């Protein structure tokens, strides 16, 4: 009879395998709350049997590898939907201040100043010889100019702030690109030498999701283990171990950012940068409309004001100073001569045949006169401004509604991902018990094998 040393080998392998199982289970438990973590499981296979005297004898268990549970299709979809959510979120958050600025407060804001200015002319119409009411008109004229300038200034600040956010996001994207490129190299190196790079892959997946949220980038798995990350028009941000930087130049006249990659203009299909760019374009449009509104107010008021005579019978001068061209919401101002001498405010009868009424009344009616033109829009000053506020609100509302839908999609996808890759403590508890019992059994087997060997050895004494 021979001493069965293979039993020790079987025992040793069993102890190793179950110890690995316990370690992997511990790893899963430790990372139960780690974002982007994919649960792992040790893969055990029966060792190749020994052939002994014409029959096969099992040789224990071998660790074949560590399997991680990851569904690349779900990961890819999650990245895509995260990119869309990034765009909507950024767009909504950047446009909300525009809405607030245009809407103004209950008793302040441009809407109120418009109403007050034209109301002052209405009051003057009923008392056309009042110097006090003329002074009030001049004061309200200064008020409306100030309101235009303040609103324009705030929109300008929002514009610059949004542009600043784009630049900050670019830096984040560049940093993430470098990290992904670095991880590509590490994963490739590790897996080429037979190592396990599950943790590195998880980390890289998390970075890919973050860069997707910022740039709407798509990530493609390559057979060599690397990840290629591309933005709009297929331009790569990361290819293998190389990261391509997004660069920014300042575009005149305001110095707003213009983004390029590898010397070509960068195009973003989704992501927060795209959302911010859209918000910037919308803000610029609103500024354009505001400038047009200011110019139209100045033009129409001046035409009427110069058609009549002032309190002293002199020909009416321009109410607003339009010496700086083009007139915009930033430079609108009342004629300094009127501020100095309110008697110059015109409230004389209309100088047109067959028309009763006064210049003051005609100016007051401009607020609701539907024939005003601002850029390509025709309507009254009041309705055009209301439509600016409504448009701003619509843009925020649309983004918000779409974001709610998107959040539901992402929640569903996250739940699906968790279902595949997430850690269940119940499962890990069962695995732990399983491996623990198996380890104990293997240890007992080792003890019995040892006792048997001792018995045989004692026979020889």
Which positions from 322 to 351 touch another protein by CB under 8 A, shown as an x/- string? --------------------------xx--
| Range 226-247 burial, b when 16+ CB lie within 10 A, else e | bbbbbbbeebbbbbeeebbebe
Q: How many residues bind another protein (CB under 8 A)?
A: 61
Q: Does 357 bind another protein (CB under 8 A)?
A: yes
Q: Look at phi and psi of residue 401 and say left if phi exceeds 0, alpha if psi is from -120 to 50, else beta.
A: alpha
Residue 14: cis peptide before it, omega within 30 degrees of 0? no
How far apart, in whole angstroms, are the C-alpha atoms of residue 68 and residue 199?
A: 9
Query: Residue 246: phi, psi to the nearest 5?
Result: -85, 130
Strand runs labelled E in 222-334: 227-230, 236-239, 242-243, 246-251, 256-261, 264-265
Question: Taking the CB of residue 254, how many other CB atoms lie within 10 A of it?
Answer: 12
Query: Residue 179: phi, psi to the nearest 5?
Result: -65, -40
Tokens of 293: 């509104």
Site for another protein in 405-434 (CB under 8 A): 407, 411, 414-416, 418-420, 422-426, 429-430, 433
Residue with tokens 């110069």: 306
Query: Residue 375: phi, psi to the nearest 5?
Result: 50, -115
Q: Does 131 bind another protein (CB under 8 A)?
A: yes
Question: Contact with another protein (CB under 8 A): which of 251, 351, 368, 378?
Answer: 368
Q: Does 361 bind another protein (CB under 8 A)?
A: yes
Q: Does 387 bind another protein (CB under 8 A)?
A: yes
Tokens of 308: 């009549």
Cβ of residue 150: shortest distance to another protein, in angstroms?
Answer: 19
Cβ of residue 87: shortest distance to another protein, in angstroms?
Answer: 18
Question: Contact with another protein (CB under 8 A): which of 81, 99, 282, 321?
Answer: 99
What value does the CA radius of gyration of the chain take, rounded to a whole number of Å?
Answer: 38
How far apart, in whole angstroms, are the C-alpha atoms of residue 195 and residue 213?
A: 30
Which positions from 285 to 324 touch another protein by CB under 8 A, shown as an x/- string? ---------------------------xx-----------
Cβ of residue 435: shortest distance to another protein, in angstroms?
Answer: 14
Cβ of residue 255: shortest distance to another protein, in angstroms?
Answer: 30
Closest CB to another protein among residues 196, 409: 409
Binding site for another protein (CB under 8 A): 32-33, 96, 99-100, 102-103, 111, 115, 118-119, 122-123, 125-131, 312-313, 348-349, 356-358, 361, 364-365, 367-368, 382-383, 386-387, 389-394, 396-397, 400, 407, 411, 414-416, 418-420, 422-426, 429-430, 433
């Amino acid at each position: 009879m021979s001493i069965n040393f293979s039993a020790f080998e079987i025992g040793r392998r069993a102890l190793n395998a179950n110890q690995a199982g316990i370690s992997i289970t511990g790893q899963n438990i430790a990372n139960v709350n780690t974002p982007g973590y994919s649960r792992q499981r040790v893969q055990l296979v029966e060792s190749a049997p020994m052939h002994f005297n014409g029959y096969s004898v099992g040789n224990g268990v071998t660790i074949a590898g560590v399997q991680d549970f990851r569904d690349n299709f779900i990961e890819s979809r999650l990245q895509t939907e995260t990119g869309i959510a990034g765009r909507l979120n950024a767009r909504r958050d950047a446009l909300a201040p525009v809405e607030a600025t245009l809407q103004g407060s209950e008793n302040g804001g441009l809407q109120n100043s418009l109403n007050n200015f034209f109301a002052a002319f209405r009051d003057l119409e009923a008392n056309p010889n009042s110097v006090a009411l003329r002074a009030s008109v001049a004061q309200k004229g200064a008020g409306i100019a100030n309101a235009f300038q303040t609103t324009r200034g705030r929109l300008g600040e929002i514009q610059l702030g949004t542009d600043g956010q784009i630049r900050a996001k670019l830096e984040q994207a560049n940093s993430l690109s470098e990290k992904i490129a670095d991880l590509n190299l590490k994963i490739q190196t590790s897996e080429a030498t037979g190592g396990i790079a599950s943790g590195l892959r998880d980390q890289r997946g998390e970075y890919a999701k973050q860069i997707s949220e910022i740039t709407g980038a798509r990530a493609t798995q390559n057979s060599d283990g690397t990840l290629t990350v591309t933005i709009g028009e297929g331009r790569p941000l990361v290819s293998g171990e190389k990261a391509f930087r997004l660069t920014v130049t300042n575009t005149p006249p305001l110095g707003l950012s213009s983004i390029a990659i590898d010397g070509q203009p960068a195009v973003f299909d989704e992501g927060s940068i795209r959302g911010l760019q859209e918000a910037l374009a919308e803000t610029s449009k609103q500024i354009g409309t505001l400038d047009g509104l200011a110019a139209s107010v100045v033009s129409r008021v001046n035409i009427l004001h110069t058609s009549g005579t002032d309190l002293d019978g002199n020909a009416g001068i321009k109410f607003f100073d339009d010496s700086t061209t083009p007139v915009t919401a930033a430079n609108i101002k009342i004629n300094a001569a009127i501020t100095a001498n309110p008697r110059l405010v015109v409230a004389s009868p209309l100088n047109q045949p067959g028309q009763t009424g006064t210049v003051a009344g005609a100016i007051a009616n401009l607020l609701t006169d539907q024939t005003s033109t601002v850029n390509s829009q025709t309507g009254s000053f009041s309705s055009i401004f209301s439509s600016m506020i409504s448009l701003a609100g619509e843009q925020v509302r649309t983004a918000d509604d779409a974001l709610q839908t998107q959040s539901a999609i992402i929640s569903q996808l996250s739940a699906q991902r968790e279902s595949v890759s997430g850690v269940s403590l119940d499962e890990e508890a069962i695995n732990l018990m399983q491996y623990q019992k198996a380890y104990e059994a293997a240890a007992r087997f080792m003890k019995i094998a040892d006792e048997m060997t001792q018995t045989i050895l004692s026979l020889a004494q």
